Amino acid sequence: MWAELTAALVESDIELTRSAVDTFDAALVDAETPDLARTVAHLRAQDPATPVLAIVPRGNVELAVTALRSGASHYVTRPAGLELAFQLRRGVERARAIRDARRTSSPGREVGYIAASEVSQRSLRQIEALAANGFRAALLTGERGTGKEQLAGALHAASRSEVDPLVVVDCAATGPSQLAAALFGRAGGAAGALELAAGGTVYISEVADLDVAGQRRLLGAIRRSVFARDGGGQEQPVDCAIIVGTSALESRSPRMLDPDLVDALSVARVHVAPLRERLEDIAPLVDHFVREFNARLGRAYVGADALALRAMHLYAWPGNVRELRNVVERAMILNRDETEITVGDLPPELVDHAPEALEPPRAARPKSDRTPAPPTVLFELPTDGVDLAALECALLEQALQRAAGNQTRAAALLRISRFALRHRLEKHGLEHLAHGQRGRPRKA
């Protein structure tokens, strides 16, 4: 049947390929066949997951590029031999994996991109559309820490199989002198990401940290589908999808981003919203990170309590999802014997901005009940009176002792705000009893 389909493609019999595609897991096309682009387009239109392999004469780089730009999934040189068998098997596995993923789940969840909010689901829908249409290059924009790398992983998972490589180049973490070689390879030396990701995907994070010359070379690789190693050498086809990520468009950063590169990628541009604009994602993200750190740290946490989640919803998250992950990890590392993240486990910046909103709710009487409720007697005043200052000191000390020095928990036990607790500690010279305080007991 491979021979029948190949013969049909060589003859450019469009009607035959259109009817035959449903019975094949992959398609072979001779790159020298007339009307190559139209043939490949018809094959891809039936099902974008179907791999289309182009057979190219050895050494004909221009024809290989033409085949890839026409929509072929991959190319093999003639005579093909074992390389053809390998690429056919990989193409079939990839197509089946993509179809299975479509039926079973969202492409984002398995790679850590949680999309409970409508804005995140919109980003995932755009990713799925790009994958379904066989994208060759895409641009992901958004602030640092929003999850662009996870979304790039979702796009790779939706358009490739498990055997296809995903190579990540973090421009912000790579030395400027090493970036060109990391991307394009070095003449007479190691291969770069564009070669290592053959048949898969390259994700280039924070591309604005790549110098202008490097961005222009990347633009040429995207537009012409060819590149050359750093330091010279023969041009070779770009045989992978390219995803570019940047936060430069969201900030007033001095880093320069080539406008032509942005224009070239604007057709396939997906924006990743900051966490403060998708608060519905916080709770499922916390659960995701708790499961991750339970496995890594050997804990048995079940999540975060309601008050801690409220604190998280009131916070602006300048560090976005990355900051939330750090907060969860810190809480679980510092509290070995607990099973739930509480307000007291959160860093001060999360709870200091809205202390009143984080006080435990008090029971309210029904509005229809206008009769004042009798006060609950919690303490009966002795007949000879009491030293109020000493009583307050004792209550403060007991609350801090029970909260292991944690001011937020002690304040919750006393039904006062953290600021009110601090005021009373300073009033009585008890700052030394709380964590994070450098005060000493006042001399009598």
- Residues 6 or more apart whose CB falls under 8 angstroms from that of 84 comprise 53, 55, 76
Inside any domain, residue 438: no
Residues 129 and 195 in one domain: yes
CA-wise closest residue to 161 among 107, 208, 206: 107
pLDDT band, residue 244 (cuts 50/70/90): very high
* Shared-domain flag, residues 16 and 59: yes
Q: What is the CATH number of the domain that holds 420?
A: 1.10.10.60
Q: Is residue 163 pLDDT above 50, yes or no?
A: yes
Residues 348 and 403 in one domain: no
Span 386-437, pLDDT tens digits: 888 888 888 889 988 888 888 778 878 887 766 678 778 888 888 777 754 4
Lowest mean pLDDT among 243-252, 267-276, 356-365: 356-365
Average pLDDT, the chain: 78
Q: How far apart are CA 178 and CA 185, in angstroms?
A: 10
Q: How many CB atoms are located within 10 Å of the residue 325 CB?
A: 20
pLDDT tens per residue across span 265-279: 999 999 999 999 999
Dihedral-angle region of residue 71 (phi above 0 means left; psi in -120 to 50 means alpha; beta otherwise): left
- Look at residue 78 and tell me whether its pLDDT is greater than 90: no
In this model, does residue 368 exceed pLDDT 60?
no
Looking at the domain assignment, is residue 46 inside a domain? yes
pLDDT tens track for 170-193: 998 888 888 999 999 988 888 899
Question: 422 is in which domain, residue-wise?
Answer: 388-433
8 A C-beta contact, residue 289 and residue 329: yes
**Predicted model pTM:** 0.64
Report which of residues 93 and 141 the model is more confident about: 141
- With beta carbons less than 8 A apart as the criterion, state whether 203 and 166 touch: yes
Statement to judge: residues 117 and 255 lie in one domain: yes
Q: What share of the chain is helix, strand, coil (3-state, %, to 5)?
A: 50, 10, 35
Amino acid letter for position 428: H
Report the CATH number that the domain containing residue 64 is assigned in CATH.
Answer: 3.40.50.2300
Count Cα neighbours of 199 within 13 Å in the Cβ-side half-sphere.
23
418 and 344 within one domain: no
Whichever domain contains 323, its CATH number is 1.10.8.60
Higher-pLDDT residue of 312 and 349 is 312
Tokens of 325: 């992950």
* Residue 381, domain member (yes or no): no
Residue 200 structure tokens: 């898969």
Q: Tens of pLDDT along 94-152?
A: 666 555 544 444 444 445 578 889 999 999 999 989 988 888 999 999 999 999 999 99
Domain end, chosen from 343, 358, 373, is at 358
pLDDT in tens, 311-342: 899 999 999 999 999 999 999 998 877 788 98
Q: Is the model more confident about 443 or about 70?
A: 70
